[in-house]
Structure 1
Amino acid sequence: MAKKPKAPADTKAPEQLSAEELALFQAAVAGATPLQQDEIPPPAPKLKAKRVFQQRHEKTLQRVQATDPFSDHFQPNLPTGTMQWVATGDEPYLAKRLRRGDFDPEMILDLHGYTKANARLELAAAIAACVAENIACLCVVHGIGHGILRQQVPAWLTQHPAIRAFHQAPLEWGGQGALLVLLRVTEN
């Protein structure tokens, strides 16, 4: 880290300390040791925490691969306009509350650049992680346009039993290119 340039020296003469004031100051700092540096180095990266998260994520992906909860052949009856869905038995106003932004996502899954197969596994792993961590709202970014993920993600979400509702995300969370997903969580 580069040192900051020193401020220009004042043109005013510094105040002169009397002998008594100088003696008091030296007595006050007599036991002090000078600092070796004046900058605090940035903390070392938390590699262990990142490694633990990656290992946990890989285990979740392996578990999801074994129990793939989604079918590519299932086509739910979804609206053609604004994407929204509420599970049977849940309050119908959940979609409206998601649209208004009453729920802030605690996790964001960005599927840009994923193949259909990888996106499917990542979505299942993210849902499993949300359920395990008791996360109620997930934002799934699938992208804008008429791509395959924009069509498949809602179909996959309707098949998962942990999903209560989803709605097209408000603009601050991705708008037409994302969905806010509300999950079933256990009450503490």
Structure 2
Amino acid sequence: MNKALNHEGLEAFQELVKGVKPLTQDKQHFGTPLPAKVVRQELAPKLAVQHYFSDTFQPLLPSDGPMRWRAEHADKQELKRLRRGDYPPDLILDLHGMRQTEAKLELAALLEACIREQCQCCCVMHGYGTGILKQQLPLWLAQHPKVKAFHQAPKEWGGDAALLVLVDIGDQPFRR
């Protein structure tokens, strides 16, 4: 009996769709698949390094005294507060033993993390060593648009083997 009902239903369906023409698909859309979120997060610092940090750019930095720099749009008092240690660093990056390419990637990741985590100040420890990172780090930091200022760190944060960096995180209502 079940087969008889099924057969009648099939005939009724065929009667209903007797004059219908099937649609032809004339276009195929094959987009490139988007990378997973984890892959995009891993690639973000590498893209930032290529976009922001150049080894040929030479900003105007002081030749005497402690290493310091302030962006044109930043307040002069910000650099003074940074020098005095009014901004304790929320994140600390230790670049000891890294090559320049590795240090660039880590620096870009640190700045992205500061922006994402709403950290206004961070400390980058470059160490003494041969002085390559000590020389290159200010050149890279001066190129990043979100860096407001940096100054040689006070003794408690590394002294002349580290820099305190002030990051522009925007005017967020939950800003520290």
TM-score by length of 1: 0.66
Task: Report the identity percentage.
Answer: 50
Please state how far the C-alpha of 1:146 moved relative to its aligned partner: 4.8
- For residue 87 of structure 1, the aligned residue among 71, 84, 87 is 71
1:154 corresponds to 2:135: no
Residues 1:167 and 2:155 aligned together: no
Structure 1 position 102 matched with structure 2 position 47: no
Could you tell me how far apart the structure 2 residues matched to 1:66 and 1:165 are?
22
Deviating above 6 A after TM superposition, structure 1's stretches of 4 or more consecutive aligned residues are none
Q: Distance in 2 between matches of 1:177 and 1:138?
A: 14
Distance in 2 separating the partners of 1:158 and 1:60: 24
- 1:132 paired to 2:113: no
Structure 2 unaligned spans of 5+? 1-36
Please give the alpha-carbon distance, in whole angstroms, between the structure 2 residues aligned to 1:60 and 1:87: 28
Could you say what the CA RMSD is over the residues aligned between the two structures, in angstroms? 1.7
Q: Following the alignment from structure 1 to structure 2, what is the Cα–Cα distance between the partners of residues 147 and 183?
A: 24
| 2:158 is the counterpart of 1:177 | no
* Unaligned stretches of 5+ residues in structure 1: 1-54
Q: How has the CA–CA distance of structure 1 residues 134 and 143 changed in structure 2, closer, same or farther, with 3 Å as cutoff?
A: same
Tell me which of 69, 74, 78 is aligned to 2:57. 74
2:46 — aligned with what?
Answer: 65
Q: CA deviation at 1:61?
A: 4.1
Report the secondary structure of 1:159's partner residue.
Answer: coil
Q: In structure 2, what residue type is equivalent to 1:63? A: A
Give aligned pairs, total. Answer: 133
> Does the 8 A contact of 1:61 with 1:121 survive in 2?
no
Q: 2:60 and 2:79 mapped to 1: Cα distance?
A: 16
Match of 2:23 in 1: none
For 1:135 and 1:180, the matched residues in 2 are separated by 12
